Copies of this chain bind each other. A is one copy, B any other.
Amino acid sequence: MTGVGEFELIEQLFANLAGPGGFSLKDDAAILSPTPGHDLVLTKDAIAEGRHYLTSDPPGDVARKLIRVNLSDLAAKGARPRAYLLSCAWGRGIDYVWIEAFCAGLKADQELYGIELLGGDTIRVEGPSVLSLTAIGDVSEGQMVRRSGAKIGDDVYVTGGIGEAALGLRVATGKLSLPQSDADALLQRYRVPVPPVSFGRALSSFANASIDISDGLLADLGHLCEASGVGVEIRRESVPVSQAVASALQHDDTLWTLVLTGGDDYQILFTADAERARDIEAAALRTATQVTRIGRIVPTGISVLDADGQPMSFAAKGFQHF
């Protein structure tokens, strides 16, 4: 970072990430107000080198992961993403070229999701990088979808496929060998999640309860059920998996545990009344989102039934980033 200080970096790289509202990159703070008739929805998640991403991951992918793990929270709450603030604590080995590529990744996702950088700060640390982002969206007044609204008898759905990132991390760390094209697909999904942002905006019109799947499907089922005071029963064979995950499971059936508890999916888990099935299908079609019914809400307990309809047992219910 020889000769380039914080202010110059902000000027050179971050200034062109600020949208029309982003004067704050040259001020102490930013202004934001909700669209009339809307509430602002705020979320804040950090990712750390060596824990949520690997030192060798491409910097543009790290930037996009940072944005997307936060947009995943907004999507699960039914919110439209609008803007973000960023704190970068750059660790050892991060040079100007790295930060430049990181900013290019931010820029690409800003354009993809229609969001702008409002402000933040950059510091140096003698250790792993820690990157923290606050994402802000809006949702029609009083319509944020909470974890706590699930009712007995609700259908339980997930978006996308489950387990790709968890297997991708195994591939990245050399703990799982797969055919190259499968390995590449899973690794890429670990590096850059694809939260269902467009589908999320429709969520408040049919979902009773919702959570983003980050700790693992089983752990997040547990969080949703705990908040709602209910239980859940899912069928393992209904859990949607990509072709690469299916193929890995075919070779090694014990990977199911990792798929169901591995985390980093950044998909939406939600519940809805049975009679909303057609609306959900329509929203899925309209936003080109895979949506799968995996079970239903029951009075108590969290059960996964295997192919024979027998309850499975799990040692650990989720991956904790801690």
Contacts and interface: CB of A to CB of B under 8 A. Distances in A.
Nearest to A321: B123
Interface stretch (A104-112, A113-121, A167-175, A305-313): A113-121
Given A7-B320, A128-B125, A42 B32 contact: yes
Contacts of A28: 43, 73, 76-77, 147, 211-212
A320 to B, nearest CB: 5
A87 interface: yes
Interface in A241-300: none
Interface string A157-199: 0000000000000000000000000000000000000000000
A236 to B, nearest CB: 24
Interface in A22-46: 23-24, 26-34, 39-46
Contacts of A120: 44
Interface residues of A, number: 66
Nearest to A30: B42
Interface in A109-168: 118-128, 130, 132, 134, 136-137, 139, 141, 144, 146-148
Nearest to A47: B123
Interface in A62-88: 73-74, 76-77, 79, 85-87
A146 B42 contact: no
A52 B125 CA distance: 10
A48 interface: yes
Nearest to A139: B31
Contacts of A212: 28
Contacts of A20: none
A134 B44 contact: yes
A40 B40 contact: yes
Contact of A40 (B32, B123, B134, B320): B32
B322 A123 contact: yes
A52 B124 CA distance: 11
Contacts of A119: 42-44
A27 B320 contact: no
Nearest to A89: B130
A36 B1 CA distance: 45
13 contacts: A1-B322, A6-B321, A26-B223, A26-B227, A28-B73, A29-B42, A29-B43, A30-B43, A31-B139, A33-B141, A48-B124, A48-B125, A51-B124
Instruction: List the 4 closest A-B pairs by CB distance, nearest first.
Output: A127-B127, A6-B322, A29-B43, A132-B132
